[in-house]
Amino acid sequence: MPAPSALNTAMSISAYDRGQLRHGPRLDIINAEGQVVMARLSANLVAHYSSTVRQHMKTVGNEKGQPKLTFELRPGSAEIQGLKQVHDWMVLSMATTPTVIKAPKNLVSAIFLARALFALGMRVDAINVDRFAEDKLRKILHPMHVKELWEQIPRDTKYVHMLVENLVRFGREDKLCKETITYIRTHNELFDRLKSPELNDSLLAKKESPQEFRARKDALEGKGKENNAARIQAQKAKAAREKAAKAAKAEAESFENDPRNHAGGAWEKELLPGQQTRSGFQYRG
């Protein structure tokens, strides 16, 4: 089955059951240094929407007779601004009819939201918000957006990488306004990355792996594990056919190259005038 969106997950249970998600053990989201990023969230609520949290949260103690849980974010994977947006949507889903998670109009907020959704494993919604952010990053940016992106988004993300590529492209087309050019020239690191595409590429922390690309593509196209299993079976069948064909070819070549399979041993050497094979054939050239 395709991965569900947050809306589909919300609608998979009744309004009453969604309301009950607020009860139960508490969850702290922590960073790699062990610092609490968000405290005392409803573990049932977050785990209902996030399979990543559900799989990786750990019990670290006991509080009023209930387990106290933590979930550790991967280093540099999300910001508190985005996590709060996701949690606010979750809380709202308990009280009202849920709606689709939409990208905020503000580009930086949209990027924060996409990163938080990816960090929580909510890939279907993350991809939709991410697509919105990428589309905006391909257009001419207002100087204010350039400033916000450069100063608020981690420098090793694909979004800053795209920002630099955006500025390079529109700079070559002479479409950057004076204010943007002034900002670039007064920020040496940004200016250096514009001058050197190699430097910009090297500062991209992690490019999308083939597995991540396939997962993203499958999520968009509604593909799931069944499709992967079918693809694997097809690949195995193809490999078996190729192996059988290779073995048959090798056997045929072995027969062809074996002197015992040629009459009179003509295979053994090139005959000279007057020579003959054991079967009596004589070359008279």
Residue 54, pLDDT > 60, answer yes
In this prediction, residues 231-251 reach a mean pLDDT of: 68
Find, among 189, 127, 186, the residue nearest to 163 by Cα: 189
Does this model's pTM top 0.85? My answer is no
Residue 107: what pLDDT? Answer: 96
State the Cα angle at 133 between 125 and 143, rounded to 5°. 155
CB burial of 44-72 (b: ≥16 within 10 Å; e: otherwise) equals bbbbbbbbbbeeebeeeeeeeeebbbbbb
Q: Which two tokens stand for residue 276?
A: 């003959």
What is the spatial distance between Cα 242 and Cα 54, in angstroms, rounded to a whole number?
Answer: 43
In this prediction, residues 258-278 reach a mean pLDDT of: 51
Residue 259, pLDDT > 80, answer no
Residue 119: what pLDDT? Answer: 95
With bands split at pLDDT 50, 70 and 90, how would you rate the model's confidence at 164?
A: very high
In this prediction, residues 233-241 reach a mean pLDDT of: 68
Residue 46, pLDDT > 90, answer yes
pLDDT in tens, 108-147: 999 999 999 999 999 999 999 999 999 999 999 999 999 9
Query: Could you tell me the strand order of the sheet in which 26-30 lies?
Result: 36-42, 26-30, 66-72, 58-63
Residue 225, pLDDT > 90, answer no
With bands split at pLDDT 50, 70 and 90, how would you rate the model's confidence at 228?
A: low
